[in-house]
Amino acid sequence: MNAPRTRVQRRPVHGVLLLDKPLGLSSNQALQKAKWLLRAEKAGHTGTLDPLATGVLPLCFGAATKFSQLHLDADKAYDTTVRLGQTTSTADAEGEVLATRPVTCSVGQVVEVLDRFMGPIAQVPPMHSALKKDGKALYEYARDGETVAREPRHVVIHDLDLLNMQLNGDTPHLDLHVVCSKGTYIRTLGEDIAEALGCGGHLSALRRTHTGPFGLAQTLTLDALEAMSPDERLAALLPVETLLGGHTRVTLGAEDAGRFLSGLRRRGHWPDAERVAVYGTDPDTLLGTAHVVAGELIPGRLLSPIEIQQILENPLRETEAAKDLS
**Exposure on the CB side of residue 49, measured as CA atoms within 13 A:** 32
Question: Virtual CA dihedral for 123, 125, 128, 134, nearest 10 degrees?
Answer: -170
**Measured between alpha carbons, how far is residue 271 from residues 48, 78, 261, 274, 285 in Å?**
36, 37, 21, 10, 22
Catalytic residue chosen out of the listed positions 20, 50, 79, 256: 50
Q: DSSP code of 7?
A: P
Burial 283-293 (b: 16+ CB within 10 A, else e): eebbbbbbbbe
73 is catalytic: no
Per DSSP, what are the bridge partners of residue 205?
A: 81
Collapsed DSSP state (helix, strand, coil) of residue 63: helix
Q: CA-CA distance, 310 to 186, in Å (whole number)?
A: 40
Q: CA-CA distance, 103 to 96, in Å (whole number)?
A: 19
Q: Write down the H helix ranges in 13-124.
A: 27-38, 69-72, 107-116
Q: In this structure, which amino acid lies at residue 198?
A: G
Q: CA-CA distance, 219 to 240, in Å (whole number)?
A: 16
| Nearest Cα to Cα of residue 208 among 23, 16, 17, 15 | 23
Rg (CA), the chain: 23
Q: CA-CA distance, 221 to 77, in Å (whole number)?
A: 19
**Measured between alpha carbons, how far is residue 110 from residues 84, 92, 103 in Å?**
11, 20, 11
Identify the helix (H) or strand (E) that includes residue 78. strand 76-84
What residues act catalytically?
50
